[in-house]
Amino acid sequence: MQAKQHIQLNTTQSIQPLLAKFGIETADIMVESLVLDSREVAIHSAFIALKGHVRDGRDFIPQAVSLGAKVIIAECDTQQEHGQTSMREQSLIISFYDLSAQLSALAATFYHFPASEMQIIGVTGTNGKTSTVQLTSQLAALLNKRAASIGTLGSGVISCTGECASFGETINTTPDAITMHKLMAQFAQDNVKQVALEVSSHALVQKRVAALKVDVAVLTNLTRDHLDYHGTMQAYAQAKREILTQPELKFAVLNGNEIESKQWLAQLPNTVTPVVYGIDDESLLLSDAQKVCLAKELEYSSQGCRFTLVSSWGECEIQLSLLGRFNIFNALAAIASQLCLGQALTDIADVAQQLVPVAGRMERFSDEKSPTVVVDYAHTPDALKQALLALRQHSEGRLFVIFGCGGDRDKGKRSLMGEAAETCADVVMITNDNSRSEDPNAIASDILAGCIQPEKIQVELDRKCAIDKAVADATPKDIILVAGKGHEDYQIIGSETVAYNEREYVKQMFERNIT
Ligand X SMILES: CC(=O)N[C@H]1[C@@H](OP(=O)(O)OP(=O)(O)OC[C@H]2O[C@@H](n3ccc(=O)[nH]c3=O)[C@H](O)[C@@H]2O)O[C@H](CO)[C@@H](O)[C@@H]1O[C@H](C)C(=O)N[C@@H](C)C(=O)N[C@H](CCC(=O)O)C(=O)O
Taking the complex as a whole, the smallest distance from the CB of residue 102 to ligand X amounts, in Å, to 14
Q: What residues make contact with ligand ATP under the rule CB under 6 A?
A: 127-131, 152, 173, 198, 220-221, 326, 329-330, 361, 376-378, 382-383, 386-387, 486
Looking only at residues 142 through 161 of this chain, which bind ligand X when binding is defined by CB under 6 A? 152
Find out whether 208 is annotated in a ligand binding site: yes
Q: What is the biggest distance separating any 2 CA atoms in the chain, rounded to whole angstroms?
A: 74
Closest-approach residue to ligand ATP (CB)? 128
Taking the complex as a whole, the smallest distance from the CB of residue 310 to ligand X amounts, in Å, to 32
Among 152, 220, 261, 311, binds Mg ion (CB under 5 A): 152
Looking only at residues 442 through 481 of this chain, which bind Mg ion when binding is defined by CB under 5 A? none
Looking only at residues 181 through 240 of this chain, which bind ligand API when binding is defined by CB under 6 A? none
256-289 burial, b at 16+ Cβ within 10 Å, e below that, comes to bbbebbebbeeebeeebbbbbbbbeeebebbeeb
- Can you say whether residue 256 is alpha, beta or left, with left for phi > 0 and alpha for psi between -120 and 50 degrees? alpha
Taking the complex as a whole, the smallest distance from the CB of residue 231 to ligand X amounts, in Å, to 13
Q: What letter would DSSP give residue 125?
A: S
Taking the complex as a whole, the smallest distance from the CB of residue 61 to ligand X amounts, in Å, to 9
What track of x and - describes contact with Mg ion for positions 104 through 133 (by CB under 5 A)?
-------------------------xx---
Contact of 82 with 76, CB cutoff 8 Å: yes
SS3 content of the chain, % helix, strand, coil (to 5): 35, 25, 40
Q: How far is CA 190 from the centre of its chain?
A: 23
Find out whether 52 is annotated in a ligand binding site: no
Question: Measured between alpha carbons, how far is 493 from 495 in angstroms, rounded to an integer?
Answer: 6
The binder of 70, among ligand X, ligand API, ligand ATP, none, by C-beta within 5 to 8 A per type, is none
Contact of 76 with 84, CB cutoff 8 Å: yes
Q: How far is CA 256 from the centre of its chain?
A: 21
- The region of 110-118, 168-176, 335-343, 433-441 touching ligand X under the rule CB under 6 A is 168-176
Q: Where are the beta strands (DSSP E) in 127-193?
A: 147-151, 154-158, 164-168
Phi then psi for 29, rounded to 5 degrees? -115, 130
When asked if residue 223 is in the footprint of ligand X (CB under 6 A), the reply is no
When asked if residue 36 is in the footprint of ligand X (CB under 6 A), the reply is yes
Question: Measured between alpha carbons, how far is 207 from 197 in angstroms, rounded to an integer?
Answer: 15
DSSP 341-390: TT--HHHHHHHGGG--PPTTSSEEE--TTS-EEEEE---SHHHHHHHHHH
Among 230, 409, 413, 487, binds ligand API (CB under 6 A): 409
> Which CB atom, from 45 or from 126, has the smaller least distance to ligand API?
126
Question: Measured between alpha carbons, how far is 430 from 418 in angstroms, rounded to an integer?
Answer: 9
> Which CB atom, from 101 or from 205, has the smaller least distance to ligand ATP?
205
Taking the complex as a whole, the smallest distance from the CB of residue 159 to ligand X amounts, in Å, to 24
> Which CB atom, from 200 or from 246, has the smaller least distance to ligand X?
200
Find out whether 172 is annotated in a ligand binding site: yes
When asked if residue 172 is in the footprint of ligand X (CB under 6 A), the reply is yes
For residue 163, count CB atoms less than 10 angstroms from its CB and return exposed for 0-12, middle for 13-18, buried for 19 or more: middle
Find out whether 173 is annotated in a ligand binding site: yes
> Which CB atom, from 100 or from 432, has the smaller least distance to ligand API?
432
Contact of 129 with 222, CB cutoff 8 Å: no
Find out whether 125 is annotated in a ligand binding site: yes
Taking the complex as a whole, the smallest distance from the CB of residue 114 to ligand API amounts, in Å, to 26
The contact set with ligand X (CB under 6 A) reads 36-39, 50, 52-55, 57, 60, 152, 171-174, 176, 200, 202-203, 208, 229
Return binding residues: 36, 38, 125-131, 172-174, 200, 206, 208
